[in-house]
Amino acid sequence: MSDTLTKLAYQGFQQGKSIFGLTHKNLSSNLKKLLYPELEKQVKTLAPAVLQKLQERMERLLEVDWQDAEQGVYPTSILFDNPWEDFFLYYPVVWIDLFQIWERLKNKKYQEFSPDIETEKYPKYYLQNFHYQTNGYLSDLSANLYDLQVEILFNGTADPMRRRSLAPLINGLKIFSDTPPYQIRVLDVACGTGRTLKFIRYALPKASLFGTDMSPAYLRKANQLLSQIPGELPQLTQANAENLPYLDNYFHAVTSVFLFHELPAPVRQRVIEECFRVTKPGGVFVICDSMQMDDSPEFMPLMENFPVLFHEPFYRHYTTDNLQERLEKAGFVNITTEVYFVSKYWVAHKPLEKEG
């Protein structure tokens, strides 16, 4: 396929995902109004100018995603990656689960777990039905539905947003150009179902990849996904990001996608400090998470609506939290930020050790 045709196909593919996400949200919101009128919430309406800006930001995200693939940062084939099997298996279940979600909303139960789930070993902040998900992050069903739910939430742009971490990751690794590619170690903290690790595998086919997450169910799902792709299987370990089970200075690069908005402020600091500890001097740390009030004030209504519509108890604080300051406090230097669509990226470096 010529480049122009591939680009058109990619744009069409993304448009399809966007239409699907919007249609699903419209239908489910109308059904909720009909069945649970009492659950209608006061949310801010988005002005046409805000919606226009949002559309422009989305188009820019997709354009840069395309350009990175075209320039070889990652293969164009991964632009079309989609968990089709999961889609056909679990999309009907997304609808069935909605009824449980609405019941949970009606009864205002946001920390509800099945009795067979051992909750004792997890920190209290983690025991939440984030996004009102049934069993939070602690069941196989939740792990099976997660990617579909996130794709619907972001109108099909979750993966393009994750892929924005790849160029800074590859750039940050240039300092280790004398190290053989198979000796490069990259850790994805809170890897969830493994989608970012999958993209990293295609961008760095020879590197040793590692992923940690607190949820055994999400790690099982990640293992399923990652064992289907060629190359060495990433090492997946269950761990709290506040206490990573690795030696100091072990990784050439560390990434983390969509984690920090789900952590209380002091935990955000501890996780950043752990990421600093395990990164090698000269190594890079890339964070991808939600946009914030200071970089995107025009999207304030959107950021205010998010925790009203989804159970996100730490999001409001996150939107005004100064992560740059937190990164500096941990010891990171040379920190830059970028915003794409509704995500923000911090690229931070661990200083090289001074020669004694």
Ligand X SMILES: C[S@@+](CC[C@H](N)C(=O)[O-])C[C@H]1O[C@@H](n2cnc3c(N)ncnc32)[C@H](O)[C@@H]1O
Instruction: Tell me which residues in 226-245 interact with ligand X (CB under 6 A).
Output: 240-242
Q: Does 137 bind ligand X (CB under 6 A)?
A: yes
Question: Closest CB to ligand X among 53 and 277?
Answer: 277
- How do strand 235-238 and strand 279-290 relate by DSSP bridges? unpaired
SS3 at position 45: coil
CA atoms within 13 A on the CB side of 16: 8
Indicate if the alpha-carbon torsion angle 57, 261, 345, 152 is positive or negative.
Answer: negative
- Using CB under 6 A, pick the residue from 155, 157, 196, 290 that binds ligand X: 196
Q: Does 314 bind ligand X (CB under 6 A)?
A: no
- Using CB under 6 A, pick the residue from 259, 286, 327, 330 that binds ligand X: 259
Q: How far is the CB of 118 from ligand X (least distance, A)?
A: 15
Phi and psi angles of residue 19, each rounded to the nearest 5 degrees, phi first: -60, -40
Question: Closest CB to ligand X among 41 and 124?
Answer: 124
- Using CB under 6 A, pick the residue from 7, 17, 57, 162 that binds ligand X: 162
Q: How far is the CB of 131 from ligand X (least distance, A)?
A: 8
Question: Closest CB to ligand X among 18 and 215?
Answer: 215
Question: Closest CB to ligand X among 214 and 342?
Answer: 214
Q: Does 58 bind ligand X (CB under 6 A)?
A: no
Composition of the chain by helix, strand, coil, percent to 5: 55, 15, 35
Residue 242: name the closest of 285, 213, 209, 204 by CA: 213
Question: Closest CB to ligand X among 135 and 215?
Answer: 215
CA atoms within 13 A on the CB side of 339: 14
Please enumerate in sequence order all residues whose Cβ is within 8 A of that of 200, keeping only pairs 6 or more positions apart, or say none. Answer: 166, 169, 186, 188, 207, 209, 255
Q: How far is the CB of 47 from ligand X (least distance, A)?
A: 28
Q: How far is the CB of 263 from ligand X (least distance, A)?
A: 6
- Using CB under 6 A, pick the residue from 192, 272, 314, 327 that binds ligand X: 192
What angle, 0 to 180 degrees and rounded to 10, lies between the N-to-C axes of helices 140-153 and 216-226?
70
Residue ranges binding ligand X (CB under 6 A): 126, 137, 162, 190-192, 195-196, 213-215, 218, 240-242, 257-259, 262
